[in-house]
Amino acid sequence: MEVIRRTPEASLKEVFLRAAGNLPGKDNRCEVVAEALGYLQEGFDVHYATRTATDEAILVGDNAYAWAVETIARLDEPRFVGVAGRMIRDGTGEILRDNAVSLELWTPHLAQLLSIISGEDEERSAVRISAAIGEVKGAS
């Protein structure tokens, strides 16, 4: 069975933590969101690692998605759950079109999550996310 990488090689969790690390002040929501992003990426990695997912891969992937949503739901902020849902929907759409999910596809979503935490506009958050992507890619 051929394994296919369908998500970015860079860790969404690491990208988000780096981008949030440049925010003034300490906000514990950053770690929770980053943890949820790790589960989300894990779900995609397992669920879509082959062209035909096994029953086990589907269950493991679905479990990781559930952990992602449950983790982010702990923040009791519907906007976070909404963005996570859109990330899953948009990523799945790419895969159904037989494409990989790129960091570029998920950058606006990551910026929305960061914007909720920081209170800054999404454009500024997107700049932070893009810079963090460069740092994470450069470190690997």
Q: pTM for the complete prediction?
A: 0.87
Say what the pLDDT of residue 50 is: 63
Q: How big is the CA angle at 106 (ends 32 and 63), to the nearest 5 degrees?
A: 55
Say what the pLDDT of residue 33 is: 95
The answer to whether the beta carbons of residues 44 and 101 sit under 8 Å apart is: yes
Q: How big is the CA angle at 71 (ends 66 and 73), to the nearest 5 degrees?
A: 95
How far is the C-alpha of 105 from the C-alpha of 7, rounded, in Å?
A: 10
pLDDT in tens, 70-123: 898 888 889 998 998 899 899 888 888 878 888 999 999 999 999 999 999 999
Residue that is written with structure tokens 């062209």 in the block:
51
76: left (phi over 0), alpha (psi -120 to 50) or beta: left
